[in-house]
């Protein structure tokens, strides 16, 4: 049974071999058996399995010998090119096509492999070329740094950069290290390297000696190693650029962190105040200190308190606006007020004003402007500022300032105006300081000199004198007087004429007289009963204000200030004083005459406001009402003309108020509106605090 199974396997294998070999090599079954026996022998079968039954070993050897001879003969014929004249059987065409196709596929695969290898080779070459170019570029930049930093072309010179580990070399680079830094700052790509944060460069810039030189370069301070020869235009441009680059480097956060913790560097920085070098350098200094004040205010104040004379140096450079802006920054910070008070800032400014003979008019004006601005910034802090307390309590300070204001000299008008501006801001500070209970000493000093200030406003003849003039020449009521009774007002403010679109104005009011009027307004609304306390000194003021109000018919700035001064009279609780002022100024008579005149003027709006003040005073005071009843012309005007004017203007004022303009309700005192019980004084201080000057 095993033989039978073995025969079946041989038949199957023989069938497969027939497809592999040509039929010419197996003409008989006997030959096929021999071939199968040979295949089995090659596969390593045993002797009992070499040939089927009926076939001996000799037959197998003979068949194999014939097969070898036949193969050799075919090989020789192929080499000699001998044509056997036997057409190949058609069955052999398919294997040849398959072999050709296999050869073609192999050739295609070989071509693709060669193409991929060539692509990879080209890519490697290109990448190596780019790396080589980048390396050469970096080497060229390093050589440029070495040449610029060390002043030589040799690559063996010591530099602050280590090519191997990109670290900093602590060895001294050159004897004149500031000159090396100067060359480094002039390198074109220096700021680029700084922004990239190159470790070796940042480590170099953290050195105190290098930062000190950066301060010197950015502030244009004297350098002992610099050349004293005149610089060419090209060199000047390079120095200017070096200054800007040094300032940008010094403004870096990591550099500022070193400076604020090093007192020696701060001393070198603030030494710039000893001898400022220019506007741009002063701007650099101020901006750096402002950054310290914003970011490191505590550390900066500790340093400033440990050094004396810094405020004095700032005041000494008061003509440099950039340094003055730094002072304003200090005052506006609030945290510095105690330090400024200890350094006597206000006293230094006032003492500088009193040095009139030794300073120029420009410097005097700068000192006055800075003093007024400093006080103006203090309004924000009110009672919480030591500077404000010094103004209120230091009588010697205000006495010195008043002496400067009233001193004689050719520049007296300028000093009067500058001093009055400072006093006006001081009064504004007083009105904003709610904790002040006692009257400050400077109020008394100012009120004692009220007659002098009033005399400076007497530039127009009194009303009685004007009436006599109109009787003599009624065609020209504004005719200037040839003999001015007040020589002081003429000397201080001048007595000039000005032709305007509204006509000839004689004399001109001027900025000084406007400032005097504003000073009186601030004094009356300072928050203390100045009018009641010093009433006799103010009696000549109100008639003068009415004369100026009617004389300058188109000066609305003056009208606003004068109307507020006169309104202070009606807001006073002294009825007798109100009646006395009305009688002294003849206000009711002049108001009626002004509204009966059909000629348009620019003061009608403020005159209307004064009419309302008189009506309200008559409502709350029987004494004032009795006085108005004695003027039938006034009563007729109130019931007729004034009522028509108010009826016409009230809807228009309400419409303007809706559009964002000031209307009737904003002009009149709200303490009188819709109040059946009369005048309410509870809102007085708050109302005038809101309106200001």
The DSSP code sequence of 312-379 is HHHHHTTT-HHHHHHHHHHHHHSTTHHHHHHTTHHHHHHHHHH-TTTS-HHHHHHHHHHHHHHHHHHT
Task: From 72, 101, 122, give the residue that closes a domain.
Answer: 72
Examine residue 435 and say whether the peptide bond preceding it is cis (omega within 30 degrees of 0): no
Same domain, 163 and 57: no
536 found inside a domain: yes
Same domain, 159 and 66: no
**Alpha-carbon gap, residue 215 to 207, rounded angstroms:** 13
Q: Which tokens sit at 210?
A: 């290098």
Position 13 scores a pLDDT of: 53
Do residues 522 and 428 make contact, with C-beta atoms less than 8 angstroms apart?
A: yes
394 found inside a domain: no
Same domain, 170 and 23: no
How many C-beta neighbours within 10 Å does residue 261 have?
Answer: 12
Nearest to 587 by CA among 566, 564, 618: 566
Strands 498-500 and 503-505: what pairing? antiparallel
200 found inside a domain: yes
**Alpha-carbon gap, residue 147 to 107, rounded angstroms:** 60
Q: Burial code of 300-312, b = ≥16 C-beta within 10 A, e = fewer?
A: bbebbeeeeebbe
Q: Which tokens sit at 583?
A: 């009688």
Q: How many domains does the chain have?
A: 3
Task: From 242, 276, 307, give the residue that closes a domain.
Answer: 307
Q: Burial code of 546-583, b = ≥16 C-beta within 10 A, e = fewer?
A: bbbbbbbbebeebbbbbbbbbbbbbbbeebebbbbbbe
Query: What averages of pLDDT result for each successive group of 10 residues across the chain (693 residues)?
Result: 49 53 43 46 46 63 77 68 50 58 70 79 79 74 58 40 40 50 80 85 89 91 54 77 90 93 94 90 94 94 93 93 94 89 92 78 90 88 78 87 86 89 89 70 90 86 60 49 48 64 78 92 88 87 93 92 93 88 92 89 91 91 90 89 80 51 40 44 36 31
Please name the helix (run of DSSP H) or strand (run of DSSP E) that holds residue 504, with its range, or none.
strand 503-505
Same domain, 176 and 289: yes
Position 21 scores a pLDDT of: 45
How many C-beta neighbours within 10 Å does residue 680 have?
Answer: 14
Q: Burial code of 139-161, b = ≥16 C-beta within 10 A, e = fewer?
A: eeeeeebbbbbbeeeeeeeebbb
Q: Which tokens sit at 502?
A: 């509204």
CA atoms within 13 A on the CB side of 647: 7
Entry pTM: 0.64
Q: Burial code of 319-336, b = ≥16 C-beta within 10 A, e = fewer?
A: ebebbbebbebbbebeeb
Same domain, 61 and 159: no
Same domain, 160 and 67: no
DSSP code of residue 478: T
Same domain, 275 and 170: yes
Angle, alpha carbons 517-522-526 (nearest 5°):
155
Same domain, 58 and 201: no
Burial degree of 434 (CB within 10 A; 0-12, 13-18, 19+): exposed
DSSP code of residue 639: I
144 found inside a domain: no
Q: Which tokens sit at 259?
A: 């400076």
Position 187 scores a pLDDT of: 81
Token match 């020789």: residue? 76
**Alpha-carbon gap, residue 151 to 693, rounded angstroms:** 65
**Alpha-carbon gap, residue 16 to 22, rounded angstroms:** 12
Position 62 scores a pLDDT of: 78
38 found inside a domain: yes
**Alpha-carbon gap, residue 516 to 453, rounded angstroms:** 7
Nearest to 481 by CA among 470, 491, 492, 500: 470
Same domain, 45 and 175: no
Position 434 scores a pLDDT of: 54
Please name the helix (run of DSSP H) or strand (run of DSSP E) that holds residue 500, with its range, or none.
strand 498-500
Structural domain containing residue 49: 2-72
CA atoms within 13 A on the CB side of 678: 9
Same domain, 532 and 675: yes
328 found inside a domain: no
Same domain, 59 and 161: no
248 found inside a domain: yes
Token match 């009419």: residue? 611
- C-alpha distances in Å from residue 599, one per residue of 468, 473, 570, 604: 22, 19, 28, 11
Q: Is 685 helix (H, G, I), strand (E, B) or coil?
A: helix
277 found inside a domain: yes
Q: Is residue 375 left, alpha or beta, with left meaning phi > 0 and alpha meaning psi from -120 to 50?
A: alpha
Task: From 278, 307, 336, give the residue that closes a domain.
Answer: 307
Same domain, 550 and 667: yes
Q: Is 498 helix (H, G, I), strand (E, B) or coil?
A: strand
Please name the helix (run of DSSP H) or strand (run of DSSP E) that holds residue 415, with its range, or none.
helix 412-432
């Amino acid at each position: 049974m095993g033989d039978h199974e073995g025969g079946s396997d041989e038949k199957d294998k023989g069938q497969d071999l027939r497809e592999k070999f040509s039929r010419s090599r197996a003409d008989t079954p006997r030959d096929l058996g021999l071939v199968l026996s040979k295949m089995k022998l090659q596969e390593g079968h045993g002797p009992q399995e070499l040939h089927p039954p009926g076939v001996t070993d000799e037959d197998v050897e003979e068949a194999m010998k014939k097969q070898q001879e036949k193969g050799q003969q075919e090989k020789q014929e192929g080499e000699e090119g001998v044509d056997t004249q036997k057409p190949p059987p058609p069955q052999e065409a398919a294997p040849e096509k398959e072999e050709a196709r296999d050869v073609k596929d192999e050739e295609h695969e070989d071509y693709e492999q060669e193409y991929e290898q060539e692509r990879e080779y080209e890519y490697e070459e290109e990448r190596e070329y780019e790396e080589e170019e980048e390396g050469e570029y970096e080497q060229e930049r390093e050589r440029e740094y070495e040449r610029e930093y060390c002043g030589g072309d040799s690559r063996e010179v010591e530099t602050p950069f280590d090519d191997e580990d990109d670290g900093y070399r602590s060895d001294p680079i050159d004897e004149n290290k500031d000159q090396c830094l100067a060359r480094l700052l002039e390198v074109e790509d220096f700021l680029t390297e700084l922004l990239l944060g190159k470790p070796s460069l940042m480590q170099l810039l953290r050195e105190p000696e290098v930062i000190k030189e950066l301060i010197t370069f950015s502030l244009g301070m004297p350098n002992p190693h610099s050349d004293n020869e005149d610089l060419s235009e090209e060199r000047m441009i390079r120095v200017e650029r070096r200054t800007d680059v040094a300032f940008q480097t010094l403004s870096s956060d990591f550099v500022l962190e070193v400076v604020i913790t090093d007192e020696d560097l701060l001393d070198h920085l603030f030494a710039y105040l000893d001898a400022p070098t220019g506007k741009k350098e002063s701007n650099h200094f101020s901006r750096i200190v402002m950054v310290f004040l914003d970011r490191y205010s505590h550390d900066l104040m500790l340093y400033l308190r440990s050094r004396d004379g810094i405020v004095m140096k700032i005041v000494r450079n008061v003509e440099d606006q950039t340094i003055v802006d730094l002072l304003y920054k200090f005052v506006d910070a609030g945290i510095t007020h105690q330090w400024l008070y200890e350094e006597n800032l206000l006293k230094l400014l006032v003492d500088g004003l009193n040095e009139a003979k030794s300073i120029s008019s420009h410097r005097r004006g700068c000192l006055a402007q800075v003093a007024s601005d400093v006080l103006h910034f203090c309004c924000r802090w009110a009672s919480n500022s030591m500077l404000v307390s010094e103004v209120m309590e230091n009588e010697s300070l205000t006495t010195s300032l008043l002496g400067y204001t009233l001193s004689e000299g050719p520049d007296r008008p300028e000093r009067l105006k500058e001093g009055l501006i400072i006093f006006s801001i001081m009064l504004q500070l007083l009105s904003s300081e709610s904790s002040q209970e006692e009257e400050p000493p400077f109020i008394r000093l100012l009120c004692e000199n009220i007659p002098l200030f009033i005399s400076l406003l007497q530039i127009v003849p009194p009303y009685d004198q004007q009436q006599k003039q109109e009787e003599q020449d009624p065609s020209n009521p504004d005719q200037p007087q040839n003999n001015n009774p007040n020589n002081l007002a003429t000397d201080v403010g001048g007595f000039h004429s000005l032709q305007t679109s509204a006509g000839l104005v004689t004399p001109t009011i001027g900025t000084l007289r406007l400032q005097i009027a504003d000073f009186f307004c601030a004094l009356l609304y300072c928050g203390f009963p100045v009018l009641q306390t010093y009433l006799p000194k103010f009696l000549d003021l109100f008639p003068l204000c009415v004369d100026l109000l009617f004389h300058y018919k188109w000066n609305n700035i003056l009208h606003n200030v004068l109307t507020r001064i006169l309104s202070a009279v009606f807001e006073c609780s002294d009825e007798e004083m109100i009646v006395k002022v009305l009688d002294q100024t003849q206000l009711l008579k002049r108001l009626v005459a002004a509204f009966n005149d059909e000629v348009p003027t620019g003061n009608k709006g403020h005159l209307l406001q004064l009419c309302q003040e008189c009506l309200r005073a008559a409502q709350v005071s029987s004494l004032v009402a009795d006085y108005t009843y004695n003027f039938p012309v006034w009563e007729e005007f109130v019931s007729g003309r004034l009522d028509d004017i108010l009826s016409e203007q009230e809807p228009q004022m309400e419409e303007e108020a809706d559009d964002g303009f000031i209307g009737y309700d904003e002009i009149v005192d709200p303490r009188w509106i819709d109040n059946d019980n009369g005048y309410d004084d509870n809102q007085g201080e708050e109302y005038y605090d809101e309106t200001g000057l």
